[in-house]
């Protein structure tokens, strides 16, 4: 009930222009929905550049034209390809960002926004259930790849490393995680259980059509907590990169209409959800929030309690176990990935 109240009655704000001005902001899944509107807001607030990470370049180029014409900004939108259902594509994208910074560009904010609410079973070319790979494994891979790039950029542009404007890695989670059953949590290998078709069918039966999507978004909160833990700190103990996550709240994007989501959910979405223009303000808020948000999850632009499925003492072990499993998978993709600083 309080979630509904917050959704309907919170007046969302954009960050001040001073928090965005001149910065380079990378947003995945930015050809449409919340990502595109966050990019538009960022340019309106004076961002130096926005990097749109998109899986289809033609859609990204259309978004660029749309954003440039509505903001009057030209030559500030970069459109780069990334498909989160392919580790090779994520690696190539991360390499491009790294080179951009090595060549003198800056990277101040990385928003891991791309994701989808798959209601059907399908396996990627890398052998993982699609949404598990895109929403979780690739999101973790890209986050770990970009963490050192954010640090390098902050060293090069010292103004961006002062306490109030240090770099941000922001992961777009959800509030749907609060309702998960997550029966796979007790499995010997949680990732293997999540990648088992028979178990998926049973879980969807138990938890409903959105169970898998909700589990992937729960795991995004876990990833945020773990990456925040490994972020290096300054002499005062403050993180050099602020890592946080958020829910934009229920928004009128294509997230559900493009999938075989239950009709009731689509009707509720049409009736009460935020516009993407409004909801995307939460992405920029988190991506400019202070050190007090490090490792935490935000709702309605404030640090919030993510619920017992995250905070219960029994879940600490589950979180640590799944993080270890995620890192093991990612080490197979890139043996040099850094998980310590
Ligand atoms: N809308 C909500 O109510 C809501 C609530 C809570 C959290 N969220 C989260 O907000 C984020 C943005 O969602 P949205 O509502 O804006 O949905 P959306 O309009 O469907 O946008 C999703 C974006 O992610 C991209 N994407 C999907 N799969 C991808 C892949 N494999 N590789 C690269 N990009 C991929 C899509 O690209 P294509 O257009 O090419 O498919 C699109 O740009 C998601 O992480 C979602 O879980 C949304």
Ligand 1: distance of its center to the CA of 25 in Å?
17
Decide whether any atom of ligand 1 lies within 6 Å of the 83 Cβ. Answer: yes
Decide whether any atom of ligand 1 lies within 6 Å of the 118 Cβ. Answer: no
Decide whether any atom of ligand 1 lies within 6 Å of the 29 Cβ. Answer: yes
For the chain, 341 residues long, give each residue's pLDDT as a single digit of tens: 677 778 888 899 999 999 999 999 999 999 999 999 999 999 999 999 999 999 999 999 999 999 999 999 999 999 999 999 999 999 999 999 999 999 999 999 999 999 999 899 999 999 999 999 999 999 999 999 999 999 999 998 876 555 567 999 999 999 999 999 999 999 999 999 999 999 999 999 888 889 999 999 999 999 999 999 999 999 999 999 999 999 999 999 999 888 777 888 888 888 889 999 999 999 999 999 999 999 999 999 999 999 999 999 999 999 999 999 999 999 999 999 999 99
Give the single-character DSSP code of 240.
S
Residue extents of the structural domains in the chain: 2-330
- Listed in sequence order, the residues at least 6 apart from 274 whose beta carbon sits closer than 8 Å to its beta carbon are 7, 12, 248, 249, 250, 251, 252
CA-nearest of 26, 52, 31, 282 to 150 is 26
What's the pLDDT at 268? 86
Are 33 and 275 within 8 A, CB to CB? Answer: no
What's the pLDDT at 94? 98
Are 232 and 156 within 8 A, CB to CB? Answer: no
What's the pLDDT at 162? 59
Which CATH class, in words, describes the domain spanning 2-330? alpha beta
User: What is the separation of C-alpha 31 from the centre of its chain, rounded to a whole number of angstroms?
Assistant: 15
DSSP string, 103-135: TT----EEEE-------S--B-TTSSBHHIIII
Ligand 1: distance of its center to the CA of 112 in Å?
10
Decide whether any atom of ligand 1 lies within 6 Å of the 219 Cβ. Answer: no
**Other Cβ atoms closer than 10 A to 303:** 17
Give the single-character DSSP code of 280.
T
What's the pLDDT at 299? 97
Q: Whole-angstrom Cα distance, residue 287 to residue 293?
A: 10
Q: Which atom of ligand 1 is nearest to the CA of 34?
A: 16
What's the pLDDT at 296? 98
Site of tokens 């988190």: 286
Tokens found for residue 295: 């490792």
Helix axes 138-156, 211-230, angle to 10 degrees: 30
Q: Which residues of 288-302 are buried (b: 16+ CB within 10 A; e: fewer)?
A: bbebebbbbbbbbbe
Q: Whole-angstrom Cα distance, residue 179 to residue 202?
A: 16
Decide whether any atom of ligand 1 lies within 6 Å of the 280 Cβ. Answer: no
Q: Which atom of ligand 1 is nearest to the CA of 89?
A: 32
Ligand 1: distance of its center to the CA of 114 in Å?
5
What's the pLDDT at 1? 62
Q: Which atom of ligand 1 is nearest to the CA of 31?
A: 43
Cite the active site residues.
213, 217
Q: Which atom of ligand 1 is nearest to the CA of 250?
A: 3
Decide whether any atom of ligand 1 lies within 6 Å of the 253 Cβ. Answer: yes
């Amino acid at each position: 009930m309080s979630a509904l109240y917050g959704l309907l009655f919170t007046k969302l704000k954009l960050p001040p222009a001073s928090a965005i001005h001149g910065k380079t902001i990378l947003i995945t899944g930015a050809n449409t929905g919340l990502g595109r509107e966050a990019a538009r807001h960022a340019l309106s607030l004076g961002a130096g550049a926005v990097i749109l990470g998109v899986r289809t370049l033609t859609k990204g180029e259309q978004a660029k034209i749309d954003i440039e014409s509505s903001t009057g900004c030209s030559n500030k939108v970069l459109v780069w390809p990334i498909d989160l259902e392919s580790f090779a594509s994520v690696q190539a994208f991360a390499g491009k960002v790294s080179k951009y910074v090595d060549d003198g560009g800056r990277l101040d904010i990385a928003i891991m926004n791309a994701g989808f609410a798959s209601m059907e079973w399908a396996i990627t070319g890398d052998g993982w259930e699609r949404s598990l790979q895109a929403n979780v494994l690739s999101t973790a891979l890209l986050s770990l790849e970009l963490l050192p790039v954010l640090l390098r950029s902050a060293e090069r542009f010292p103004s961006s490393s002062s306490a109030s404007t240090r770099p941000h890695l922001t992961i777009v989670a959800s509030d749907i995680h609060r309702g998960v059953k997550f029966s796979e949590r007790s499995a010997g290998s949680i990732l293997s259980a999540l990648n088992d078709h028979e178990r998926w069918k049973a879980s969807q039966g138990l938890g409903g059509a959105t169970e898998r999507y909700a589990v992937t978004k729960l795991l995004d909160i876990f990833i945020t907590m773990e990456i925040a833990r490994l972020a290096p700190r300054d002499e005062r103990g403050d993180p050099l990169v602020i890592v946080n996550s958020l829910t934009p709240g229920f928004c009128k994007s294509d997230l559900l209409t493009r999938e075989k989501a239950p009709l009731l959910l689509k009707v509720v979405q049409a009736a009460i959800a935020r516009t993407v223009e409004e909801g995307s303000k939460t992405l920029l808020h988190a991506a400019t929030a202070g050190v007090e948000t490090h490792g935490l999850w935000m709702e309605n632009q404030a640090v919030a309690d993510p619920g017992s499925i995250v905070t219960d003492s029994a879940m600490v072990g589950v979180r640590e176990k799944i993080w270890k499993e995620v890192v093991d998978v990612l080490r197979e993709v890139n043996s040099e990935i850094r998980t310590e600083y």
